Structures are given as structure tokens and as C-alpha cells.
């Protein structure tokens, strides 16, 4: 679909609540991405967004530009190498309005969108990384775990990579009434902490 056709379609569907933009080929530039997000920002009922784009023009675009759209969503799935910014180890900008997001799926551990989401309930992490223990990776994981522990409403985390556990964790659920204990329902009765899951517990 051409940009002009997309613009007309979105202008005629002002009640749109779900939108998916997935591309597996190159050809869309940053200006086009910005225009699409401007159109999405104008949709008052948009609550669910999926966006998966390849790297554009051999460079990444600043993800902060699209925060106004993300802030009003209840569910966001964001994938691809097309964006940069929001490094995990950098403090969250104080000017960012807290998002109302409840469901978030991310594909890059170096981008911690969940720290903007105080109401987050369900987090899915699908990073394609190796389970190495170099200092940089450990530092990133330490900060991620600290941020996740601060999300009081987070009750479910889905992990599609192998960390330090002797099993592939599909889903962990927070034990009700506990401060930081998690379990794998239907798989194991063993209790974990987020530090266990992210491979930060000393053996």
C-alpha cells in the first residue's frame, strides 16, 4: 500500500483501535515513518499497535519521536532494528508522560520501554541474544531486573530465550502476595526470582 493510500484509509477509519505495520523489505525512509506515526497519533481510539520494520537507510531513527503515540496505547508490540535511543542504562527522561500500557512485547534487551509503564501487567521479551556473561550484558540485566522489580502491577513475564536456568522458561507468573517470587505454571513448582531468570544469581 502506498503512503497516500494509507493516509486516506486512516483518515476514513477514525474509530480504528488496532493497527499493525509489518515490513520485511527495505524501502521505507524515516520521513515516511514519521508521517505514519503522525497519522496514528490522530486516531483517538487507537489502543493496540504492532510495528516491525527493517533498518532504514542504513541508520536507526530516534524512538523518542513516537512516544506521544505509545503513551496512549494499552498494548504495544515493537520489533526490528529500525530504532535507537532509550538505552537501558540511561535515566528515564523526566518529561515523559507515564504510559497507560498494560501489555508490552519487545525484541531488544538494550531498550527498556517498560520503565515508562507503571501500569504494565504483562511483558514478553523475545531477544535473539546469546547467553553470555560479559560485564556489559550483566550490567544491562542488573538494571533491567531493578526496573522490573519496581513495577508493582507486573504479574506475568514471557521469556523466549534461554538464560541461566536448566530449562527454557516459557512463562513465569508472580506468586500472589509475595514480594518477588515467581513460578512457571504447569511446568515446575520451583520458585524463582527475577535475578534467577536473568542469570544474575551466583552459583
3-state helix, strand, coil in the chain (%, to 5): 25, 25, 50
**The C-alpha cell that represents 144 in the structure block:** 533491567
Cβ atoms 119, 151 nearer than 8 A: no
**Residue 18: closest CA among 44, 52, 49, 39:** 49
Q: Does residue 110 register a pLDDT over 70?
A: no
Span 1-85 CATH architecture: 2-Layer Sandwich (3.30)
- For helices 3-11 and 30-41, give the axis angle rounded to 10 degrees: 10
Mapped onto helix, strand or coil, the DSSP state of residue 196 is helix
- pTM of the full structure: 0.83
**Residue 52: closest CA among 26, 24, 30, 75:** 24
pLDDT tens digits for 14-25?
899 999 988 776
Q: Where are the domains of the chain?
A: 1-85, 98-203
pLDDT tens digits for 22-81?
877 666 777 888 888 998 999 999 999 999 887 666 667 788 888 899 999 999 999 887
Q: What is the mean pLDDT of the chain?
A: 79
pLDDT tens digits for 117-158?
899 999 988 765 444 444 457 777 888 888 888 899 999 998
Mapped onto helix, strand or coil, the DSSP state of residue 112 is coil
**Would you call 91 exposed, middle or buried from its count of C-beta atoms within 10 A (0-12, 13-18, 19+)?**
exposed
Cβ atoms 69, 37 nearer than 8 A: yes
For every residue of 164-191, DSSP letters joined together read: SSSS---EEEEPTT-SS-EEETTTEEEE
CA distances for 23 relative to 51, 80, 89, 117, 160, angstroms: 8, 9, 29, 26, 22
Amino acid at each position: 500500500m502506498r503512503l497516500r493510500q494509507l493516509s486516506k484509509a486512516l483518515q476514513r477509519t477514525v474509530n480504528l483501535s488496532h493497527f499493525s505495520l509489518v515490513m520485511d523489505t527495505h524501502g521505507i525512509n524515516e520521513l515516511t515513518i514519521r508521517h505514519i506515526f503522525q497519522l496514528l497519533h490522530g486516531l483517538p481510539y487507537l489502543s493496540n499497535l504492532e510495528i516491525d520494520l527493517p533498518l532504514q537507510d542504513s541508520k536507526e531513527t530516534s524512538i523518542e519521536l513516537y512516544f506521544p503515540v505509545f503513551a496512549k496505547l494499552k498494548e504495544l508490540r515493537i520489533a526490528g532494528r529500525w530504532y535507537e535511543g532509550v538505552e537501558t542504562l540511561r535515566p528515564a527522561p523526566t518529561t515523559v508522560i507515564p504510559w497507560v500500557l498494560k501489555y508490552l512485547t519487545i525484541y531488544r534487551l538494550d531498550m527498556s520501554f517498560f520503565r515508562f509503564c507503571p501500569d504494565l501487567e504483562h511483558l514478553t521479551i523475545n531477544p535473539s541474544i546469546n547467553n553470555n556473561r560479559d560485564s556489559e550484558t550483566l550490567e544491562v540485566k542488573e538494571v533491567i531486573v531493578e526496573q522490573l522489580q519496581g513495577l508493582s502491577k507486573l504479574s506475568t513475564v514471557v521469556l523466549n530465550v534461554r538464560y541461566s536456568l536448566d530449562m527454557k522458561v516459557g512463562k513465569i507468573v508472580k506468586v500472589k502476595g509475595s514480594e518477588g517470587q515467581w513460578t512457571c505454571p504447569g511446568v515446575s513448582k520451583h520458585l524463582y526470582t527475577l535475578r534467577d531468570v536473568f542469570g544474575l544469581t551466583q552459583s
